[in-house]
Amino acid sequence: MTRQPPPANYIPRSRLALMAGLHAVALTVWGLHLYARTLPPTAVPIPEPGEAEARWWGVWPATYAPDWVIWLGTAALLAAIIIAWVWIYRGAGVSEETRPTPHPNFQSSIFNFESSILNFLTFLLFIAFFLFPIVHTRWGDAYMLTRGIAWPDPALRLVYSWQAPLDVLLHAQFWRVVGEPRGWETATPVYRILSPLAGGIYLLVVLALSRERRLAPGWLTYGLLVTLGLIQLFFGYVENYSFAAAGVLAYLWLGLGVLRDKRPLWLAATVLAVTNATHPSTVVLAPSLLYLGWVVYRAQRIENQGNKSRTAVVFQVVLQIGLPMLLVAGGVIAIMTAGGHGVQAMFTSDRPGGGDARWFVPLFATTTRWEQYVMFSWAHLRDFLNEQMLVAPVVGGSLIVVGIYYSGLKIKDWSAGTAASPASQTSRNPIFNLQSSILIFLSIATAAYLLFTWVWNPDYGGQRDWDLFSLAALPMTLLLIALLPRALSRRGRLLAGAAVPLILVQGMHTAFWIFQNTRPWEWPK
């Protein structure tokens, strides 16, 4: 019996289920924000672990929003979801395979219009970095940085630190050249200038990524990256992570270019090396750089077809990775040594691990006041989830839903006897498949950063050290951006119907978070 082809507007049930799952993520995240508003307010500026804000600090910014904003946001979210389903079931959801390809001139016009809109939004957001700065030094080492850099006694000023060598040095020198002659009593104005400039670099990289059409449509890339909660780092934020965030995203962008043979490996390695020098925690991206080196090695071996020896190719790849790392590391060591803060300080006053020099969350018992919980405890898991909710509220849940979708397809293929044969698996080797290489690269970066987030000990607890772990959201978000168009059809309305509610919820969450940090707050006397 001949199998009839599906109708032109047919959409597989699995894709409809995926869209429903992503809508469930958006509704769940928004529901958590509504739930947070029902909890009693905290009694002190820095709550104790048992208080509501300490338990649910990832969604607590919603409590600062006026009621009318919450109701408007709820209406907008429900409207976006309803419109998405109506759009699909009115017959507009023609599958990508049967949809006629638009005329090139029309495609160019759409691309130019979208680029103009994104450029305008980028300008507005860059201005907002300066207009709505954070007004307090509550998080991490912010208070010590603002005071230490501008300390009256030059001999005691904070200028060199192995915790963030280039970042601290840049801010200290800027204060010495610009702030001290103007009588700035703290370094807060320095961060209110340099943090937005780091944000400008971040936005330029986002625009570059939005033009990577093989990754995803521009609006999707831009929407998910500029609504991340970590953009709080660019609103005059006082800490050592603003330039690190811009550097991580720039490295990931260059890494994608290496996979497409459009960027040299040494350039990606150099940017990562400089980013490591702004904050050493970013060294967790090293495995992803090694993967790029392996891909380049295999590609050169195939391209040369034996014209170069294996040793020569290995040496070339190692040189592209190793030389930038050695040059940047050597330069940092030379600068620090010249400032009287050499390598010995790295193992004494600036040793990794904070106040107790403990690197990792303890397994069984806390033994110092800088250890907040043990590895496998509800308090640790709750902080981990709150961190993800604060910086990337819809990303983690969406990745889980997309993972379940792909797992279901794999199981269906095997049960139907259509699993790939060994021969076809060879043809899908990630070395020869650009899309697979992109997913592997981003997956390695995501897994490495999430592992770091889970095992590294936050001296002040997750709420005060959220910024240390916030950079994990960047590779994770890019991974979601790369997966969604492949799961939901790149040019289909299905993609817009699923992604717009996610961007809407994440954007509202981040707006609440930024608004919260513009409210007056003082350290308790």
The span from the CA of 483 to the CA of 477, in Å, is: 10
117 assigned to some structural domain: yes
Q: What is the pLDDT of residue 423?
A: 37
Q: What pLDDT does residue 525 have?
A: 54
Asked if pLDDT for residue 111 goes beyond 50, the answer is: yes
Across 65-80, b (16+ Cβ under 10 Å) vs e yields beeeebeebbeebeeb
pLDDT of residue 493: 83
Confidence band of 414 (pLDDT split at 50, 70, 90): very low
Q: What are phi and psi of 422, to 5 degrees?
A: -55, -35
Residues paired with residue 41 on neighbouring β-strands, in sequence order: none
In a domain, 419, yes or no: no
pLDDT at 458: 87
pLDDT at residue 95 tops 70:
no
- Determine, yes or no, domain membership for 464: yes
Cα 388 to the center of its chain, rounded Å: 10
Comparison of pLDDT for 520 and 35, the residue scoring more: 35
Q: Which of 176-185, 257-266, 290-299, 429-438 has the lowest mean pLDDT?
A: 429-438
Q: Is residue 525 part of a domain?
A: no
Tell me the one-letter amino acid at 295: V
3-state class (DSSP) for residue 248: helix
Q: What confidence score (pLDDT) does residue 151 get?
A: 93
> Residue 209 — very low, low, confident or very high, per pLDDT cuts 50/70/90?
very high
Does a structural domain hold residue 521?
Answer: no
> Quick check: 142 and 188 in contact, CB under 8 A?
no
pLDDT attached to residue 473: 97
Mean of pLDDT values over 153-159: 89
Helix and strand counts by DSSP (H, E) for the chain: 20, 0
Q: Read off the pLDDT of each residue in 437-441 and give the average, rounded to a whole number.
A: 94
Residue 11 to residue 99: CA distance in whole angstroms: 12
pLDDT digits (tens, 9 = 90+) for 228-259: 999 999 999 999 999 999 999 999 999 999 99
Work out the pLDDT band at 347, boundaries 50, 70, 90. confident
Q: Which residue has the higher pLDDT, 428 or 48?
A: 48
Dihedral over alpha carbons 471, 476, 481, 485 (to 10 degrees): 180
Q: Is residue 421 in some structural domain?
A: no
Mean pLDDT of 157-167: 93
Q: Is residue 493 part of a domain?
A: yes
Q: Do 352 and 360 form a contact (C-beta atoms < 8 A)?
A: no
What pLDDT does 358 receive? 83
Q: Residue 1 domain-assigned?
A: no
Residue 521 tokens, joined: 């707050």
Q: What is the pLDDT of residue 491?
A: 58
Query: What digits encode the pLDDT tens for the residues 312-327?
Result: 888 999 999 999 999 9
* Interval 186-205 mean pLDDT: 97
**pLDDT for residue 430:** 41
More confident position, 306 or 479? 479
Classified as helix, coil or strand, 341 is coil
Q: What pLDDT sits at residue 61? A: 92
Q: Which two tokens stand for residue 332?
A: 């940092």
Q: What are the CA-CA distances from residue 481 to residues 116, 211, 393, 439 (Å)?
A: 21, 13, 15, 10
Closest Cα partner for 295 from 432, 158, 128, 488? 432
Residue 11 amino acid letter: I
Residue 30 or 110, more confident: 30
Query: Containing domain of residue 290, as a range?
Result: 13-410+426-516
d(CA 22, CA 501): 8
Mean pLDDT within 111-137 = 92
Q: Look at the chain and report how many structural domains it folds into.
A: 1
Place of tokens 């990606």: 268
pLDDT at 80 over 70: yes
pLDDT, mean over the chain:
86
Q: What is the 3-state secondary structure (H, E, C) of 151-179?
A: CCCHHHCCCCCCCCHHHHHHHHHHHHHHH
Q: How far is CA 348 from the centre of its chain?
A: 32
Least reliable range by pLDDT among 259-273, 333-347, 481-495: 481-495
| Res 11: pLDDT | 74
| Alpha carbon distance 303, 426 (integer Å) | 18
Check whether 93 has a pLDDT greater than 60: no
Q: What is the mean pLDDT of residues 178-194?
A: 94
Q: Say if residue 131's pLDDT is above 90.
A: yes
**What's the predicted TM-score (pTM) here?**
0.91
CA distance 127 to 197: 10
- Regarding predicted confidence, which is higher, 328 or 115? 328
Say if residue 48's pLDDT is above 80.
no
Number of Cβ within 10 Å of residue 345's Cβ equals 17
Question: In the predicted model, is pLDDT for residue 387 greater than 70?
Answer: yes
Q: Which residue has the tokens 């003082």?
A: 522
pLDDT of residue 43: 45
Percent of the chain with pLDDT over 90: 62
